[in-house]
Amino acid sequence: MYKKEEAGQACREIDTPPNASALIEGHRDFGYDLKTALADVIDNSISAGATSVKLEVDTSSDDPWLAIVDNGTGMSEEELIEAMRLGSKNPTDARESGDLGRFGLGLKSASFSQCRSLTVLSRKEGVTSCARWDLDHVARRNTWALELLGKNASLSCWRHLEGYANGTVVLWEKLDRLSGGQEPGTYRQEHMNSQLADAEAHLRLVFHRFMERSGHRLVLTLNGRKLRPIDPMASNHKATQKDPVETISLLNGKVDVLCHTLPHHGKLSSEDWEELGGSEGHLKSQGFYIYRGDRLIIAGGWLGLARQSDLTKLCRVRVDIPNSMDSDWKIDVKKASAQLPPAVRSRLKKIVERLSSTSKRTYQSKGNKLVDREMNPIWNREIRDSKVMFRPNLEHPIIVDYLKNLPKEFQEGFIQCVKLLGIGLPIDTIFMELSAGPDSLKSGPDKKDELTEVIYQLSDVLLNGGVEISSLMSVMSNYAIPGVSQSEVRDVVGNYILEKS
């Protein structure tokens, strides 16, 4: 309450509590979307030691709802009230290394960004407590009126803790933001399901290291379906290249940096390649992956240290930071953005330059195999006036053999037709398709019988040219057929040798 002081006093203090309705509505607009909001709530579950987090969602009813259920340590009523307080933590306070929170705002701000009614039910040592923020109730009262609900309250969330000795349910109702402002019906349900699908992929990525742990592993489910982790580094793939870990020691902790070069898309299944690229593709997903306590904060982008390029889209740099460095990295409330400290920027710049050359070699080695003249390529790579051109190899054994058997009057016309095909190579179209997705392009024979026909014809030419059948397998290993692996070539050549023997 304002108290009038005597005139002439040098300094006065008055208590000016914020307007409850205005401030709590302002917490709805911190920039969360569904995926970052869910991730922030799950952070609390992990900090509470949960090994199971269940997402239960009803998008089809007239009053849709979403619940996040965990088997963590739970909260007493006193702890629950404190957790529901806005700004329950000071970001400068020291915390345990596994604490994923920072401001004490995540649970409330993340939830309010999607709903107008937040109910938290928590059980600790068999005692259950329940509290609710209803923004409409706060607006009517314009006070910080947190509702404490007893067992007699009619709440659907009670059933979610059946069988739990300890655990917490975060229930979102009045989903005005998640529903997109649409009336009940098919379109609203489709919109919500689309948002959930996007959030699912995000959670599989953000918490993948918790889901991959050998001990105290996190199991994440959506309406009873277990979610698989997405490792953006493809760490366990045999073709992934890794550099040694580099450590940068700073005043508030150590930064560990581990560089990865992803396998070429030809060595991955189409599903794995798509998952690694995410919704925006591999061009956007290259760059830094910054983890804070195993939790992914930044997924891709070079933070101003390099440009995104097709030749570097296999580059991914894992950066691990402790939560003691939040202020140094300027971690935001949503834990979805960060800035490089000056002391780290110069070190990472050198790492990025070195890693970029590795990624470029991965793609260029594929190209070198195509144009190595010792392998009798179908296309030759030529440089004229500093410009790279691809032209048909008129010295390819099959072309030479076919030309030799043509009547002399047709030979010149045949050569001109082959040259015309080379001149008409649609470089711009190929580049556009590669930019959209290299795995969408296919080179080489379309069917197995076409591959067999090509290899048999080439083998006939080689035998007629004096190659011994006993040497055919080793000689054929020098021939590059675009889109065809050496193992496939060896299988077909083996069958050819058996038929000829």
Domains of the chain: 20-226 (3.30.565.10), 241-368 (3.30.230), 374-500 (no CATH)
Q: Choose among 484, 473, 481, 492: nearest CA to 397.
A: 481
Q: Cα separation of 451 and 488, whole Å? A: 9
pLDDT band at 35 (very low <50, low <70, confident <90, very high): very high
377-392 pLDDT, tens digit per residue, is: 777 877 777 677 888 8
Q: Cα separation of 352 and 333, whole Å? A: 28
- For residue 204, is pLDDT > 50? yes
Structure token digits, residue 326 = 């939040």
- For residue 236, is pLDDT > 50? yes
Got the DSSP string for 413-461? HHHHHHHHHHHT--HHHHHHHHHH-GGG---S-SSHHHHHHHHHHHHHH
DSSP assignment letter at 245? P
CB 273 within 8 A of CB 248: no
Select the more confidently predicted residue: 347 or 368. 347
Q: Choose among 96, 97, 139: nearest CA to 117.
A: 139
- For residue 359, is pLDDT > 50? yes
- For residue 89, is pLDDT > 60? no
Share of residues in the chain with pLDDT > 70 (%): 84
- For residue 175, is pLDDT > 80? yes
Q: 178-182, 215-219, 266-270, 372-376 — which one is most confidently predicted on average? A: 215-219
CB 48 within 8 A of CB 101: no
Q: Cα-flanking dihedrals φ and ψ of residue 387, to 5°?
A: -110, 135
Lowest mean pLDDT among 202-216, 224-238, 246-260, 392-406: 392-406
User: Is the overall model pTM greater than 0.75, yes or no?
Assistant: no
- For residue 93, is pLDDT > 70? no
Q: Return all residues near 426 (Cβ < 8 A) that are at least 6 apart.
A: none
Got the DSSP string for 92-152? TS---TT---SSS-HHHHHHHTT-SEEEEEEEETTEEEEEEEEHHHHHHHTS--PEE--TT
- Could you give the 3-state DSSP secondary structure of residue 304? coil
Ramachandran bin of 386, using left for φ above 0, alpha for ψ from -120 to 50, beta for the remaining angles = left
- For residue 125, is pLDDT > 60? yes
pLDDT band at 369 (very low <50, low <70, confident <90, very high): very low
Q: Cα separation of 148 and 289, whole Å? A: 41
CB 166 within 8 A of CB 158: no
- For residue 79, is pLDDT > 90? yes
pLDDT band at 144 (very low <50, low <70, confident <90, very high): confident
Q: Return all residues near 203 (Cβ < 8 A) that are at least 6 apart.
A: 35, 38, 39, 42, 220, 227
Mean pLDDT of the region 338-361? 76
Neighbours of 22 (CB within 10 A): 10
- For residue 339, is pLDDT > 90? no
What was the pLDDT predicted at 83? Answer: 92
- Could you give the 3-state DSSP secondary structure of residue 239? coil
427-450 pLDDT, tens digit per residue, is: 777 777 766 666 666 666 666 777
Q: Which residues pair with 219 in a beta bridge?
A: 52
Select the more confidently predicted residue: 487 or 132. 132
Given the structure tokens 């006993």, which residue do they identify? 470
